[in-house]
């Protein structure tokens, strides 16, 4: 790599919540990667918004885009601007923890196309954040073993820049739903890694309506994209639409088995909030069914607004990286 070139590009899409985005930016700047990290702050906030705190740091490049740009389009645009050989996507309501950057840089020296890390809860004990975090990121909660994976943490994983660029005009669509991107990478012969040293803390939703709204919109986008990528027949689409009421139970059984086998400390939390889990995943199943029947509609833009503005309350002080399960 030429001297002076960054080794990792962090992409953060930001909206009107400037202080919250500032927390994500501070956690990146505190990684101690002077000269090795660049941060692309992709700004979808209205014109005239206050600067994101810390955005005057020399490692930060501000990339203003129109407010109507979707979350996927913004991330794809940033990939085209990245100077480093690896791109890490970081949500504006995430705080990366010490050692995150070093771990990703080291992992990307190996032939992994994508690398994801270990997830923590950044706002434990606030409203429903504990169960929201568990069903959103529980597959990547500690203890996380290092090794090859099928999927990585959504919206908060890293990839080789040239691999992403190889998809050209397809990339914005692949980034609508990271699960589809992961499947496509593996189908094309690429390999994905889970690296527990790349730890991050996620600010979770703190009431069920907020999480249900977000997951509904995400699945409204994911459903038709998943079907198109998998070349689903009309009959298979119809089956998933008809089966929508049963999908929450299917998820609960599968995730419950996963927790019992790999994360038994969290099983009590999961069972205590089973009605919450079923309600949220019913919203997801209905979103997928609508997407299969009618397409995504305006869900990508509505999801972008949700991603950048949905309330994620915190306690003071925020305990970054807390993982102890609460019933």
Task: Express each pLDDT in 265-324 by its tens digit.
Answer: 999 999 999 999 999 999 999 999 999 999 999 999 999 999 999 999 997 544 344 444
Does 189 have pLDDT greater than 50? yes
CATH architecture of 8-202: Alpha-Beta Complex (3.90)
Query: Which residues are bridge partners to 9 per DSSP?
Result: 38, 87
Q: Other C-beta atoms within 10 Å of 221: how many?
A: 26
Closest of 322, 292, 74 to residue 200, by C-alpha = 322
pTM for the structure as a whole: 0.94
Peptide bond into 201 cis (omega under 30): no
HSE-CB for 318 with a 13 A CA cutoff? 21
Q: What is the pLDDT of residues 111-140, one digit of tens each?
A: 999 999 999 999 999 999 999 999 999 999
CA distance 12 to 290: 30
Query: Tokens standing for 12?
Result: 């953060």
Between the alpha carbon of residue 64 and those of residues 44, 52, 67, 184, the distances in Å are 6, 12, 9, 29
Q: Does an H or E element contain 179, and which?
A: helix 178-187
| Residue 18, φ and ψ in degrees, nearest 5 | -70, -40
Give the phi and the psi of residue 96 in degrees, each rounded to 5. Answer: -80, 145
Element (H, E) at 250: helix 247-262
Q: Report the pLDDT value the prediction gives residue 325, as an integer from 0 to 100.
A: 57
pLDDT digits (tens, 9 = 90+) for 28-76: 999 999 999 999 999 999 999 999 999 999 999 999 999 999 999 999 9
Beta strand pairing call for 37-43 and 8-14: parallel
d(Cα 63, Cα 238) in Å, to the nearest integer? 42
Structure-block tokens of residue 76:
């794809």
Q: How many CB atoms lie within 10 A of CB 313?
A: 14
Query: Could you tell me which residues come within 8 angstroms of residue 60 by beta carbon, excluding any fewer than 6 positions away?
Result: 25, 38, 39, 41, 54
Which residues belong to CATH 3.90.550.10 in the chain? 8-202
In whole angstroms, what is the distance from residue 98 CA to residue 118 CA?
12
Q: CA 59, CA 79: separation in Å to the nearest integer?
A: 16
d(CA 103, CA 33): 11
> How many C-beta neighbours within 10 Å does residue 51 have?
13
Count of beta carbons in the 10 Å neighbourhood of residue 117: 28
168 CB-contact burial (10 Å; exposed 0-12 / middle 13-18 / buried 19+) = exposed
pLDDT at residue number 4: 76
- Measure CA of the first residue to CA of the last residue in the chain; give whole Å: 49
pLDDT in tens, 217-275: 999 999 999 999 999 999 999 999 999 999 999 999 999 999 999 999 999 999 999 99
Residue 143: asked if its preceding bond is cis (omega within 30°), the reply is yes
What are the two backbone dihedrals, phi and then psi, of residue 43, each rounded to the nearest 5 degrees? -105, 115
CB of 210 within 8 A of CB of 256? no
């Amino acid at each position: 790599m030429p001297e002076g070139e960054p080794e990792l590009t962090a992409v953060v899409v930001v909206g009107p919540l400037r202080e919250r985005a500032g927390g994500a930016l501070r956690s990146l700047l505190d990684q101690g990667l002077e000269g090795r990290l660049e941060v692309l702050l992709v700004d979808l906030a209205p014109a005239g918004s206050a600067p994101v705190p810390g955005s005057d740091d020399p490692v930060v490049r501000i990339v203003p885009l129109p407010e109507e740009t979707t979350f996927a389009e913004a991330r794809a645009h940033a990939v085209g601007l990245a100077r480093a050989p690896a791109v890490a996507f970081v949500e504006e309501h995430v705080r990366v923890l010490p050692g995150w950057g070093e771990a990703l840089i080291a992992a990307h020296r190996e032939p992994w196309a994508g690398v994801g890390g270990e997830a923590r809860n950044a706002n434990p004990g606030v409203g429903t954040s504990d169960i929201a975090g568990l069903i959103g990121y529980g597959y990547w909660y500690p203890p996380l073993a290092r090794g090859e994976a099928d999927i990585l943490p959504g919206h908060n994983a890293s990839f080789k820049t040239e691999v992403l660029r190889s998809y050209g005009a397809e990339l914005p669509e692949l980034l609508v739903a990271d699960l589809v991107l992961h499947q496509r990478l593996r189908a094309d012969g690429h390999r994905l890694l889970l690296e527990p040293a790349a730890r991050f803390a996620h600010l979770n939703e703190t009431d069920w309506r907020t999480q249900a709204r977000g997951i509904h919109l995400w699945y409204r986008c994911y459903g038709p994209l998943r079907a198109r990528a998998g070349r689903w027949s009309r009959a298979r689409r119809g089956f998933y639409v008809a089966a929508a009421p049963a999908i929450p139970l299917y998820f609960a059984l599968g995730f419950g088995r996963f927790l019992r086998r790999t994360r038994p400390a969290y099983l009590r939390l999961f069972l205590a909030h089973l009605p919450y889990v079923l309600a949220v995943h019913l919203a997801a199943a209905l979103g997928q069914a609508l997407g299969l029947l009618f397409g995504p509609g305006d869900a990508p833009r509505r999801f972008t607004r949700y991603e950048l503005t949905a309330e994620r309350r915190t306690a003071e002080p925020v305990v970054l990286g807390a993982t102890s399960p609460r019933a």
